[in-house]
Amino acid sequence: MVTAAASRLEREAAEVDALNVYPLPDGDTGRNMHRTISAAVARANVAGGATVAEVSTALARGALMGARGNSGVILSQILRGFADAFAGVETAGPAELSQAFSRARANAFAAVDRPAGGTMLSLCAAVHERCGTEDDIALVLRRAVEVGAEALARTMEDNPMNKAAGVVDAGAYGIWLLLVGAQRAVDPAAPVPSPVLRRAGAHRVVTTDADVAAWTGGHCVQYLVPSPRRAADELRHEMLSAGADSVLVVGDGALLKVHAHAAKPETVIAVGETAGPIEDLVVEDFDAMVAEHERATGIVLRSPPRPLAAIAVVPGDGFAAIVRSLYAVPLRGGATMNPSVGELVGAIEEANAHTVLLLPNDKNVILGAREAAKESKTNVRVLETKSVAQGMAALVAFDPMRPADETWERMTAAAAAAHSVEVTHATRDATIDGRDVRAGDAIALLDGRLVAHGASVVDVVAEALRAMDGVGIATLYAGAEVSDADAESAAERLRRELADVEVEVRRGGQPHYAYIVQAE
């Protein structure tokens, strides 16, 4: 019966994916539910139980270990409810199945921090409330399919995101397909309703309803914790307190499954590690998943504003990649290509946040950043970083899951402690800061002041670092014209000559400057 249910879901998994807009339009509900039920079936096949109790226990354990996504974790708890109801039972009849529906509903609702209407939970509730009085398993399943179809239709109206998109709930449709598959295994001739899955003419929509949308965090984080040292409720509460949402922590003393949405995945991972070593870690980027779903379906659902975002003006593709890795938004700038006030305002609006921290990273951009903050309707705070090195130091302290005031203070302190060394070549003979420089010389500017010049780029970097007291870490951002081999060779030489300084190398990709050095 369960194998037939899994097969029915597999045939329609792509359709379930296409309907997926709640809790976020990432287009993977069908795949996640199918992977979960498939893991359950595989575990049961290996276990080879002879009773309903043994089989349902294996199904529940397999589903927990293989659960993927919000819908998959909830499905695993539905199967856990069946296992609980069938404990000690050799064969199951209508009464046992009715009890299983009850336990499945209770487990599914208990797994979710904020149960919402118009979802797979609603369908579970309807089936529990209106099925189970029949005296034949086939009749119970037929009734479940009929009631489920009615509940499925209501999800298009009862959930604001589904209503806005004009679709039924994807998770509810997945559960209904499992019921249909089970029914057909017992009674192949039983009639099956044909639910309307989409409202006619519904294609493209935008919504910003923060009460129902659940992807203010930028990543989906999932993992297992075998033999956990902490209770599921403790971990769930700590993750929610840290700013995560869609938090599901389920399982028992032998194994916990964690699922959460978070702007900064490390936060959720660190909480799990307090309970023991984690396994089967999966981190997915919502922006990429939502964009792909939009391309495939034409449905656009704009995320509600996130609490906090940071925008950094940077001069190269390497810097942009680093900024994104720190959960901030890069905006291209730099010498001769600084962004306009309009471009800054556009980036602020695109960040879609209640508060935006704007890092100009160049003294020539600060005034424009101030004006953009005045022009924008968003709450914008300009952290007046005068160099990209200051900005990168500040972004290391950026945490989109912490309060804005706390994050601002940490970033301000980090920027103040950082120094910038910019290394380029003189274009003409000149006297700069009291030093005579010849055209073609390598020159090093420490926080905008010339401190070294000569024939060798590495020599002037070393001289500039020696001019500072207490430097512990120097990060070399290699420019667009510097090869990886040359950058690593420069770093090795600096490590030899400056034994007390930890030297790191990253690709900055900036034009005009061979190296930008962040010294702390």
Check residue 425 and give its pLDDT: 93
Give the chain's mean pLDDT: 91
Largest Cα–Cα distance of the chain, in whole Å? 99
Segment 149-205, tens digit of pLDDT: 999 999 999 998 898 889 999 999 999 999 999 999 999 999 999 999 998 765 555
Hey, is 272 helix, strand or coil? helix
Give percent of the chain above pLDDT 70: 95
User: How far is it, in rounded angstroms, from Cα 480 to Cα 515?
Assistant: 9
Residue 213 has pLDDT above 70, yes or no: no
Cβ-Cβ contacts under 8 Å for 413 (sequence gap 6 or more): 397
- pLDDT for 286: 81
Residue 476 has pLDDT above 90, yes or no: yes
Domains of the chain in start order, with CATH, are 2-186 (1.25.40.340), 219-296 (3.30.70), 306-417 (3.40.50.10170), 419-519 (3.30.1180)
pLDDT band at residue 333, thresholds of 50, 70 and 90?
A: confident
267-280 burial by CB neighbour count: b if 16+ within 10 A, else e? bbbebbeebeebee
Query: Which among 178, 141, 187 is positioned nearest to 3, based on CA atoms?
Result: 178
495 pLDDT higher than 50: yes
pLDDT surpassing 70 at residue 230: yes
Q: How confident is the model at residue 147 (pLDDT cuts 50, 70, 90)?
A: very high
Residue 415 has pLDDT above 60, yes or no: yes
Residues contacting 485, CB < 8 A, separation 6+: none
Cis check: omega of the bond before 23, within 30 degrees of 0: yes
What pLDDT shows up at residue 210? 47
CA distance 83 to 60: 7
Question: pLDDT at residue 212 above 50?
Answer: no
pLDDT above 50: residue 479 = yes
pLDDT tens-digit series, residues 149-161: 999 999 999 998 8
For the stretch 303-328, pLDDT in tens is: 778 889 999 999 999 999 999 999 99
The per-residue pLDDT for 313 is: 97
Each residue's pLDDT tens digit, 422-468:
999 999 999 888 889 899 999 999 999 999 999 999 999 999 999 88
Confidence check: pLDDT of 216 > 60: no
Q: How far is it, in rounded angstroms, from Cα 260 to Cα 245?
A: 6
pLDDT in tens, 376-402: 999 999 999 999 999 999 999 999 999
Higher-confidence residue of 338 and 35: namely 35
Amino acid 379: pLDDT: 97
Average pLDDT over residues 405-420: 96
pTM over 0.85: no
Give the strand order in the sheet containing 245-251: 245-251, 255-262, 219-226, 279-285
Interval 500-514 mean pLDDT: 94
Angle at the Cα of 287 from the Cα atoms of 282 and 291, rounded to 5 degrees: 115
Half-sphere exposure (Cβ direction) of 239: Cα atoms closer than 13 Å: 33
